[in-house]
Amino acid sequence: MQGGLFNSVVRALQQLELADTYGESCIPLAILNVAYPLVPDEITRFCASKRSVLIVEEGQPAFLEQAIESILRKGDIQTVVFGKDVLPMAGEYVAEVLQKGIATFLENNAPGITADRGGGIVARIDDLKSSASTQLGAPVPPRPPTFCTGCPERPVFTAIKFVQRELGNVHIAADIGCHTFSTLAPFNLGNSVLGYGLGLASSAAVDPPMKRRTLSIMGDGGFWHKGPFPAVSRVLCSTGQIRFLSS
């Protein structure tokens, strides 16, 4: 599985009574915290003793699934590889989605492990959802992505809203990261979004004709990727000033 999916996979296995809350799983797990390049020996060592494996990989194309198939076939290992045939091609792999996929995989490949171990939890979730939608009479509005509760970035963006109320709007160049949630309601901050530190470069470009100082927001990932370069060029090549604010 992709390393980032570990928590959701363990939660799904836990609901199926195949793992505990500490991540101890009855099903052997290979967790790829580095998904590229794959280490063929690591893959073949894990798969060689298994009749079938399920690749848990978000997104499309299924790069891991294809690469693992290729490694196994070249190594003449006949382990059957499942992936997008039991898990959705697109969409977020939340625990409920994973429960269904893992349950289907187990039903087809491990008859000794009944997928109903969780007391038919997959069917119960479906029943609950359909009963809730009948009672509500209308689809539940989707929950937009937003900051975690208690995120320290919230007060920063709230402060920016207050400052704009007093000073008027300023040009805000956003970058990619959790802080990009500030471009959504209720903050609606940000005139442009560029990734990997380029937000700061773009704000340097639009700064000269602006009446007010422009603002650029980036997280630590963007900063360490490329942030220092536009910061330096901004100081050298424009009248812009740099102030760093850390949350």
Contacts with ligand SF4, residue ranges (CB under 6 A): 147-148, 151, 153, 178
Partners of 216 in the β-ladder: 173
Phi, psi of 56 (to 5 degrees): -105, 105
Long-range contact set of residues 228-235: C-beta below 8 Å, sequence gap at least 24? 228/197, 229/197, 229/201, 230/197, 230/198, 230/200, 230/201, 230/204, 231/200, 233/201, 233/204, 234/200, 234/201, 234/203, 234/204, 234/207
- The CA distance from 127 to 33, in Å, is 35
Closest separation in Å from C-beta 218 to ligand SF4: 12
Q: Scanning the structure block, which residue is given the tokens 């000033």? A: 241
Helix and strand tally (H, E) in the chain? 9, 5
Transcribe 76-132 into DSSP letters: T--PEEESTTTS-SSS---HHHHHHHHHHHHHHH-TTS-GGGGTSHHHHHHHHHHHH
Q: For ligand SF4, which is the closer residue by CB, 149 or 241? A: 149
Q: Are the C-beta atoms of 187 and 156 separated by less than 8 Å?
A: no
Q: For ligand SF4, which is the closer residue by CB, 153 or 175? A: 153
Q: For ligand SF4, which is the closer residue by CB, 151 or 205? A: 151
Closest separation in Å from C-beta 149 to ligand SF4: 8
Q: For ligand SF4, which is the closer residue by CB, 21 or 246? A: 246
Q: For ligand SF4, which is the closer residue by CB, 80 or 184? A: 184
Q: For ligand SF4, which is the closer residue by CB, 120 or 152? A: 152
Give the length of the chain.
Answer: 247
Closest separation in Å from C-beta 151 to ligand SF4: 3
- The CA distance from 194 to 74, in Å, is 41
Q: Are the C-beta atoms of 70 and 37 separated by less than 8 Å?
A: no
Q: For ligand SF4, which is the closer residue by CB, 104 or 146? A: 146
Closest separation in Å from C-beta 187 to ligand SF4: 12
